[in-house]
Amino acid sequence: MATTHPSTVDAVVIGAGLAGLRAAADLVASGAQVVVLEARDRVGGRVFSHRFTDGQTCERGAEFIDGSHVEVLALAAELGLPVSERGGDLDPHGTLVDAGGRAVPMQLHASLAGDLAGWTAALAALMPTDEYEAGSLADLIGPLGLSAVSRLVVGRDIRTEFMLPPEAVGRRFAAEVQSRRVAGERERHRVVGGNDQLAIGLAARLGSRVRLSTPVRSIVADSGLVTLADGEVLAAAAVIAAVPLPVLTRLWPAVPGELGSVGYGVGGKISAQFGRRIWRDYSRNGTVLSDRSWGHLWETTDDQPGDAGVLTSLLSSYDGADFVALPEAPDRLVHEIDRIFPGAKGLAGERVVTDWTNDPCSLGTYSCFGPGQWLAAQTALHVVHGRLWLAGEHADGFAGFMEGALRSGARVAAKIAAG
């Protein structure tokens, strides 16, 4: 539908992920007239839960909530959503390291404990200050003289956290992430029944203000004009773009170069349900760190009841992104799981594949600021460009997490409400 006179509202929010929904809900609470435009036919964006027929769930995107992610936990509490309690640290007895086609319990690798302590100390020594702006995590690993198996485990840790290889992760960005970690609080919770209830709960407060299946085609920052894919034009005193940066660069031709160049992780996830938790027969917890491109496997149902169990593989970095895009990827993964836990193949049921790199509404997994990119992007992320404000996980110190998305949305809404 094409309109000659754009309809005018106080604020147009582009994207109904956690950042956009938080901003919209806060603005509505302050009395503003708001419209949320969402390209997909669902809310939540990179928070996307899947429900198996027996009621078990898996997360196609964001899965874990750290104990220090106070905004996520506060939202869950506000919406009356219980969260599970789990141990987030790797258990060296239950975890397998799969190298050269042989999966061996982590605790049997004598070099690992000392090498991992060295890696942890090197990370802890990073400071979120400008002197760490240059350089990547590869610079940090080199001097440690790690054994081959330790390089595998540290490399997996980095790829799982950032979805890119060590040389693509800026030291400064890693320091920012590290500075917000609280020991013992990592990956402590999931929302019982699916993380997507966080987004659904926020969207319920907005009702018909959220327009699904309404992709935005372009933004003019100075005039606050937003053009939809069908040609409709909306005008607003404030426009909030709460889309991933690779998407923003397509909608906003005048995007500053320092935003367009921010690195983004690549890859996706495959979850497979098994009729029985066969890894327990082998006295393992389902966690495997592999040198193969399917990467990092864990049990997603470790905090869920039922006989069945779901293993999730995080396919990270360039080789992981290539793997998840293959049509035969789920079968190959099940085959690999059967190599490690013989008998698994016969128990395999539904498989769920999510390729975030090739999804036009994401074009990647989450922001990963490369060497020299963090400081360069901060001003452009936090100022208003004409009438355009930026929100999203990339626009917060908790970048890459649901926490960052919520915080960025709340911050932008507060600035707009303050005039």
Residues at the contact surface with ligand FAD, assessed by CB under 6 A: 14-20, 37-40, 45-47, 61-64, 215-216, 242-244, 247, 251, 269, 356, 361-362, 365-366, 392-393, 400-405
Q: Closest distance between ligand FAD and the C-beta of residue 3, in Å?
A: 18
Q: Which is nearer to ligand FAD, 290 or 365 (CB)?
A: 365
Contact indicator for 399, 390 with CB cutoff of 8 Å = no
Query: Least distance (Å) from ligand FAD to the CB of residue 125?
Result: 25
SS3 165: coil
Beta carbon of residue 230, minimum distance to ligand FAD (angstroms, whole number): 12
| Buried/exposed code over 10-48 (b: 16+ C-beta within 10 A; e: otherwise) | bbbbbbbbbbbbbbbbbbbeeebebbbbbbbeebbbbbb
Nearer to ligand FAD, 255 or 278 (CB): 255
What one-character-per-residue DSSP string does 226-294 give? EEETTS-EEEEEEEEE-S-HHHHHHH-TT--HHHHT--B--EEEEEEEESS-GGGGGT--S-EEESSTT
**Minimum gap (Å) between residue 52 Cβ and ligand FAD:** 18
Which CB atom, from 20 or from 155, has the smaller least distance to ligand FAD?
A: 20
* CB < 8 Å & 24+ apart, contacts of 292-299: 292/98, 292/336, 293/319, 293/320, 293/322, 293/323, 294/270, 294/320, 294/323, 294/332, 294/333, 294/336, 295/156, 295/159, 295/160, 295/320, 296/156, 296/159, 296/160, 297/337
Q: Least distance to ligand FAD from the beta carbon of 389, Å?
A: 13
Q: How far apart are CA 81 and CA 402, in angstroms?
A: 16
Helix (H) or strand (E) holding 349: strand 348-355
Q: Report the nearest approach of ligand FAD to the CB of residue 144 (Å).
A: 26
The rounded distance, in Å, linking the Cα atoms of 129 and 148 is: 31
Dump the DSSP string for 110-136: TTHHHHHHHHHHHHHH--SSGGGSS-B
What sign does the dihedral 272-273-279-285 (CA atoms) show? positive
Which CB atom, from 140 or from 228, has the smaller least distance to ligand FAD?
A: 228
Output 77 or 104, the one with its CB closest to ligand FAD. 77
> For tokens 């170069």, what's the residue?
257
Question: Where do we find the tokens 């390729």?
Answer: 355
Instruction: For the CB of residue 113, give the shortest distance to ligand FAD in the complex, in Å.
Output: 26
Cβ 104 to ligand FAD, closest distance in Å? Answer: 27
What's the farthest any 2 CA atoms get from each other in the chain? 71
CB of 232 to ligand FAD, least distance (A): 12
Residues contacting residue 383 through CB under 8 Å, at least 6 positions apart:
none
Question: Which amino acid does the sequence have at 376?
Answer: A
Query: In 3D, which of 303, 109, 297, 87 has the Cα closest to residue 195?
Result: 303
Complex with ligand FAD: residue 43 or 141, whichever CB lies closer: 43
Q: Which is nearer to ligand FAD, 149 or 241 (CB)?
A: 241
Closest distance of CB 63 from ligand FAD, Å: 4
Q: To the nearest whole angstrom, how small is the minimum distance from the Cβ of residue 335 to ligand FAD?
A: 22
Q: How far apart are CA 379 and CA 371, in angstroms?
A: 17
Q: 279 or 401, CB closer to ligand FAD?
A: 401
Task: Name the residue nearer to ligand FAD (CB basis): 273 or 408.
Answer: 408
Select 150 or 301, whichever has its Cβ closest to ligand FAD: 301
By beta-carbon proximity to ligand FAD, the closer residue of 173 and 401 is 401
Residue 318 to residue 360: CA distance in whole angstroms: 18
